[in-house]
Structure 1
């Protein structure tokens, strides 16, 4: 397998892990500058039975779609590609330089309460994201949590995509009704997951066990168990504050209904504890707070500039009974012939505002109303409503559409030259920055190119706008 070129792109260079039904390799992406490192996961189906391969392919594609969606989180590896080659299934994911958390959990060495709190907070934040997307990890353990070298953040890896397909080859008639029965690691897997009924609280249990391991310096298999209740007995081995011990105890309760039912609930318990004023946690809150304040300031500044552009001098009712119509014609003509300069106009506008505020009897409602409008604009910007910003872009795109010519034959020729056929399913990247969109252009789809090509990518305008790999297309349509 070493040296093999997969999908005409990924060069296998090193074995990362081996299993009975598949292997994990370190690979290189030969189509990107510098041949960056990636992780290649291989599944070898145990049988060539067509029905089994059909089921395995369906499960594999479903898990790949899930990984594509989860990869949008900064602390989850991005899915780069998934494909089938010579009866084998492959996943290609982002490589995370760093080391597993298991290297930090040294036997006999206890972590401080601040270290454990920071670790729990980071991983719970990731679990909150994946649970909100309807995914249960099912294999939370120190080896699947990577300390990223670039920023020391924790990254959650190995979402069991290959495991689900591997399990299908082992299922008896009884196990086929429950394909998740054997997924998990002894010591970190709760009882309900061992019975094939994992829940979000199952991931919380496994994370809590890692917290116990960090506080006690003992591996989970070394901890005694209450024979009557099934609860782990570990509190006497930990030297930490009572609140942290109480929170972790609730995370690792034997019966799942007694645990935190969601990662959000567990996070709220950590945040609400007055004893959790450790520097790492405070730093997290400060970082999030600074980002929010900066965003509010920027949106407020944009709103003020928009209001400034829309502002017009207020109308002031004439106090002189002689109206504008009664003024001499010569005066009006002189005013028209000699328009004020920009500076004079600005000074005049300010004077009009000042006079209107001093003479208008309802100044307070006007000020309150303006303030409420400003708050609504800022709040709307903070909530992520960027429709007003997106509209000019779409309008600009619509305005740049090509005006049809009066030469139908030439138009047909150009249309044919711009029509490509996708020969192998390709991930669609966005037109801006070629970021992943989660969309896949399936094989056999006719696409229209714009003529732009860069780094092996082709820009298309139909059936969707974005970029696809040129090597997965055929030049002309039938």
Structure 2
């Protein structure tokens, strides 16, 4: 085929790749100025039967139309032409000048989290476009991700109709449709291996590429959980819990447990890609709460000041009334005093803090002011309590105070009819704890790196995280790379994230040990 002129236009320069479905060539377009380079994909039908060729031709044309739509994306090669020659099918696509991603994924050279997140986001945006057009790639792997030379963007290639056409064969004079399993071991999920790929199958493959980048290991090197079929990989990577959770969901064994769309996976990655956005939101929320508290305090202060002004005004009015009465009426009953007070015209004071024109209108608006301020304070307190949870130490102290009576409290009041009796606190059966293994050498265990705590080696995370440097108490049980601990919390942690430290024996102890062995 080298040197052949296809469709009287495309001259084959060299072979780019070959497989069971056909060949891929690098060619030159002789009908364009400068003979630009292009890629020609050659599909050889499995049968020359006329009925089979008719079906294959229809499917080939349909897939070429799909590839034409996909070529509208900047990070997918454009379809330049498709044609049939000698009952064989050809696709001509744009040539991408760059290198495949597997060149960057060197063994034992893990990527940073930020690099992995950026790659996942970039490819997910492409997959979102592809899946929206009703296409499943089926063979997402590093070799099919090209790092374009001129802008350093990732381009998704190898969409050829070679993969999309469902091969047909005639068996027993009847047309039987056979679904061909397409994919690469290590990147292909179980349902795709059975010939039933889904959009989440592409997400699985991308998740495995992300894990490969984080660990520096090929996907075929990871083991599987014998019970669940899940990939065991986290112990080989230095990864945050947040990113580990996203990747773990992308590569779940059962397709319904994965993200069901690229958009859903992008939403999960967004807080990791823009951590400052979450911090900014928290700062704005905190600032709003402070404003609510400040405004509520100012409103309550204004209400109290108004009440004090009203009380002072009424007192001055009563004193003025008493001074205006004749001396013989000074000892009149208070009812007469109130009647005279009611007839005294009110003094015109300065404008109140609440902005009311005169104090004569304040009493009618006072309930509204008080109610509004109270509602504001309640709302502000509720928001503040949600944003700022109670201190764990305070909760623990309160629980301990309520649960255990203080025997030294001398000013407590004894209950009736129990002055001569001795009260005993209610005691509940303590929760059984795992036995603590006593190391004969006096060795201690500490966390070398932060680790999540699990209820058992095969269960989900409890939500507890033990930070680096925390001393552990182990029970001596080990299973599947995990060890059981009894403190600071009860559960199981990765053994390879712990550090065992044993004291060095002094010479005197060594001599005693040697003499005791001789005796």
Q: TM-score of the superposition, structure 2-length normalised?
A: 0.51
2:23 paired residue number = 23
Are the equivalent residues in 2 in contact too, given 1:110–1:216 (CA < 8 A)? yes
Q: CA deviation at 1:92?
A: 0.1
From the CA coordinates, give the structure whose radius of gyration is larger. Answer: 2
In structure 2, the CA distance between the partners of 1:152 and 1:169, relative to structure 1 (3 Å rule), is: farther
In structure 2, the CA distance between the partners of 1:193 and 1:166, relative to structure 1 (3 Å rule), is: closer
Q: CA deviation at 1:21?
A: 3.6
In structure 2, the CA distance between the partners of 1:36 and 1:274, relative to structure 1 (3 Å rule), is: closer
Mapping for residues 191-210 of structure 1, pairs under 5 Å: 191-210=190-209
Say which SS state the counterpart of residue 273 (structure 1) adopts. helix
Mapping for residues 240-279 of structure 1, pairs under 5 Å: 240-273=239-272, 276=275
Cα distance in 1 between the residues matched to 2:54 and 2:164: 14
- TM-superposition CA deviations, 1:431-465 (whole Å, max 9, x none): xxxxxxxxxxxxxxxxxxxxxxxxxxxxxxxxxxx
Are the equivalent residues in 2 in contact too, given 1:102–1:143 (CA < 8 A)? yes
Are the equivalent residues in 1 in contact too, given 2:42–2:90 (CA < 8 A)? yes
- TM-superposition CA deviations, 1:175-198 (whole Å, max 9, x none): 94452x411111101111111211
Cα distance in 2 between the residues matched to 1:174 and 1:151: 52
- TM-superposition CA deviations, 1:181-217 (whole Å, max 9, x none): 4111111011111112111111000000000101011
- TM-superposition CA deviations, 1:90-135 (whole Å, max 9, x none): 0000000001111111111101001101100000000000111111
1:231 paired residue number = 230
Are the equivalent residues in 2 in contact too, given 1:43–1:90 (CA < 8 A)? yes
Cα distance in 1 between the residues matched to 2:151 and 2:173: 47
In structure 2, the CA distance between the partners of 1:87 and 1:227, relative to structure 1 (3 Å rule), is: same
Q: Following superposition, which runs of at least 4 residues in structure 1 exceed 2 angstroms of deviation? A: 163-179, 272-278
Cα distance in 1 between the residues matched to 2:215 and 2:267: 24
Q: CA deviation at 1:9?
A: 1.0
Mapping for residues 72-151 of structure 1, pairs under 5 Å: 72-151=72-151
1:212 paired residue number = 211
Say which SS state the counterpart of residue 231 (structure 2) adopts. coil
1:189 paired residue number = 188
Are the equivalent residues in 1 in contact too, given 2:201–2:255 (CA < 8 A)? yes
Cα distance in 1 between the residues matched to 2:25 and 2:173: 33
Cα distance in 1 between the residues matched to 2:112 and 2:166: 39
Q: Any gaps of 5 or more consecutive residues in structure 1?
A: 279-478
In structure 2, the CA distance between the partners of 1:219 and 1:131, relative to structure 1 (3 Å rule), is: same
Say which SS state the counterpart of residue 158 (structure 2) adopts. coil
Are the equivalent residues in 1 in contact too, given 2:169–2:177 (CA < 8 A)? no
1:64 paired residue number = 64
Are the equivalent residues in 2 in contact too, given 1:178–1:196 (CA < 8 A)? no
Q: CA deviation at 1:20?
A: 3.1
Q: CA deviation at 1:173?
A: 10
1:472 paired residue number = none
Give the aligned length.
277
In structure 2, the CA distance between the partners of 1:46 and 1:126, relative to structure 1 (3 Å rule), is: same
- TM-superposition CA deviations, 1:317-349 (whole Å, max 9, x none): xxxxxxxxxxxxxxxxxxxxxxxxxxxxxxxxx
Cα distance in 2 between the residues matched to 1:67 and 1:118: 26
Are the equivalent residues in 2 in contact too, given 1:40–1:93 (CA < 8 A)? yes
2:285 paired residue number = none
Say which SS state the counterpart of residue 42 (structure 1) adopts. strand
Q: TM-score of the superposition, structure 1-length normalised?
A: 0.56
Q: Any gaps of 5 or more consecutive residues in structure 2?
A: 278-519
Q: CA deviation at 1:166?
A: 7.5
